[in-house]
Amino acid sequence: MRAFRHLSLSDALGIGLILCVAVFSLLLLVAPSIIVVMISFDTRAFVSFPPEGFTLRWYAEVFEQGELVDAMLNSLQVGLTVTLLCILLGVPTALACARGRFRGTTALSVFVLVPHMVPGIVLGVAVLFAGALVGVSPSIWLQSVAITVFILAVMVRTVQSRLVRLDPALEEAAANLRATPFQSLRTVTFPLLMPAILAGAVFTFVEGFDNLSVAIFTHGFRDRPLPVELLALVQYTSSPLVAAVSGVQIVLAIAALVAVSLSIGLDNVND
């Protein structure tokens, strides 16, 4: 507290204001999740706030409903496929953009960004029609590819920004120290890019799992992903079931963040 003793009134007011804004922002970020979780324990069969009573009935029902569990598994599959595709396509693209010595590296990095700028609905419709033209009908695979196109830019940008900040002398040093280009990539570039690749993987997995706008036009008729299933649910019912599904998702997200912070540290992902 000693540090505050010599503060002038205006300093104190400034700090107070900053604290207020910070607390307000934090509330704004966290409140929706807290409200959803509270609703999910409500005993009443319709969504209302504040909740009355406490039950785990909706959580039990989530896992009793075959469609919801299937939808979760579908979304999990899409999330993993999108992540894998983004790593396979995005990391080499980022390398080409940041280190390539050919004309058009800037054009390439802008080009990758374009699908991300188009509204997801438009991209979804476009992929649907384009698929129809070449005889590919909506499926879990078409959905995965479409979302990959949509979100690839995030992986490319994350890896690229890390690459740009890597000292180029590191790769030159590897070459000077007898490493072939492939050895240099394997022993120096990739290990140093790993935090960025993991960060990109978290973002792309979440998008693959959670995307509605692209998925709604491209998902398979029998393989409905979770967001589409939830949309149907809120359209026709208003039970706290939806809140319970969200509760499960929130728990999974927290578990994932804890796992990441325990393994490589959140700072590394941010970096």
CA 2 to chain CA centroid, Å, is 43
Stretch that binds other proteins, among 7-15, 178-186, 208-216, 235-243 (CB under 8 A): 178-186
Question: Residue 238 interacts with other proteins (CB under 8 A)?
Answer: no
List the one residue from 177, 252, 254, 255 that touches other proteins (CB under 8 A).
177
Part in contact with other proteins (CB under 8 A); list of ranges 2-10, 49-57, 185-193, 210-218: 185-193
**Pick 80 or 179: Cβ nearer other proteins:** 179
List Cβ neighbours of 162 (8 Å cut-off, separation of 6 or more).
192, 193, 195, 196, 271
Nearer to other proteins, 162 or 224 (CB): 162
Helix orientation angle between 57-64 and 241-263, rounded to the nearest 10 degrees:
90
Residue 170 within binding range of other proteins, rule CB under 8 A? yes
Which member of 167, 221, 262, 267 binds other proteins (CB under 8 A)?
A: 167
x/- letters, 40..79, toward other proteins (CB under 8 A) = ----------------------------------------
Cβ nearer to other proteins, comparing 177 with 255: 177
Should residue 173 be labelled a site residue for other proteins when binding is judged by CB under 8 A?
yes
Please identify, using beta-carbon distances, which residue of 171 and 229 lies nearer to other proteins. 171
Positions in the binding site for other proteins (CB under 8 A): 167, 169-170, 172-180, 183, 187-188, 191-192
